[in-house]
Structure 1
């Protein structure tokens, strides 16, 4: 059985291990500096969730924003040793089950073997590719914004997309090195 536990501050016993997984799973421009991550933990709409076994072994992280009309999966990573064991599938199916709003996430454009595999993974779970051209701002100074592809469950509406863009600009990216 998977256990989902929210980290609300840097004193949580799993924070350092979970943050290490975060740092090792995403390139620098796609992740917050540690001090920005600690600041984001204070936001009631931000959920830094660890995924673990009942025995306590860390299996992954699911970092989400819970808004009125959508849940945004900002970062999602499974530990290298837990990959290929359906942890990611079970986590996203659980999220779909407990969420009564649109779930959206971003992936790299499917241009190589790994990015194509990732897109197929999300499609298998029911996520739908949006046709929106989307440039995600960088979390770090001296790094560039980057193109990503939005996927959602169910299909992304114009209203949810507009709400997401507003939340990204006015709240989510406030926890970054770059002044938005």
Structure 2
């Protein structure tokens, strides 16, 4: 059992630093855009702090909707990788939320992307082979071709379209 908990406002800068160092620029909001979400009622940032230091070991951002949850960002601080934290966090989030969870992954074009997909598959997620691209967060950013993975099982095309519509409307504030 980890000490996963809801992040504190004063931890935002540390979380954003991990985010910046873990994702390509097209895959996250600006500092201001990310901070604006902090108090959104459907959005929660969870962290595992390092009780020995002032560091954040890992964070995961979750959008909770009526019948599913969406993991928008999930990253382990490079200093704490390869210790099983990622699997631990996913299992705790699955137990905490008690609903189907969706997340986006990069296309399996690189060894790193293939390893990430394998990590999620080992933790009970399935690839849904339907066309999907993350809309740009701002006009300056580009859409990102991705795959959607879901916990428990693959979903039907109708279910996929419903999930995608909710994510585009609520998370990316656009229509598909």
| TM-score, normalized by the shorter chain, greater than 0.5 | yes
Question: 1:42 maps to what in 2?
Answer: 39
1:77-116 mapped onto 2 (5 Å cutoff): 77-116=75-114
Question: 2:161 maps to what in 1?
Answer: 162
Runs of at least 5 residues in structure 1 that lack an aligned partner in the other structure: none
Alignment: residue pair count: 173
1:1-180 mapped onto 2 (5 Å cutoff): 1-7=1-7, 12-55=9-52, 57-158=55-156, 160-174=159-173
Secondary structure, counterpart of 2:45 in structure 1: strand
Quote the offset at 1:35 in angstroms: 1.2
What TM-score results when the alignment is normalised by the length of structure 2? 0.89
Secondary structure, counterpart of 1:3 in structure 2: coil
| Contact 1:2/1:52, CA 8 A, preserved across alignment | no
Secondary structure, counterpart of 1:68 in structure 2: coil
Quote the offset at 1:64 in angstroms: 0.8
1:40-68: per-residue Cα shift (whole Å, max 9, x none)?
11211101122223445311110110111
Secondary structure, counterpart of 2:3 in structure 1: strand
Between the aligned partners of 2:3 and 2:27, the Cα distance in structure 1 is 26
Between the aligned partners of 2:91 and 2:99, the Cα distance in structure 1 is 14
What TM-score results when the alignment is normalised by the length of structure 1? 0.88
4+ residue runs over 4 A deviation: none
Q: Which has the higher contact order (CA 8 A, sep 6+)?
A: 1
Runs of at least 5 residues in structure 2 that lack an aligned partner in the other structure: none
What CA RMSD, in Å, does the superposition of the two structures yield over aligned residues?
1.8
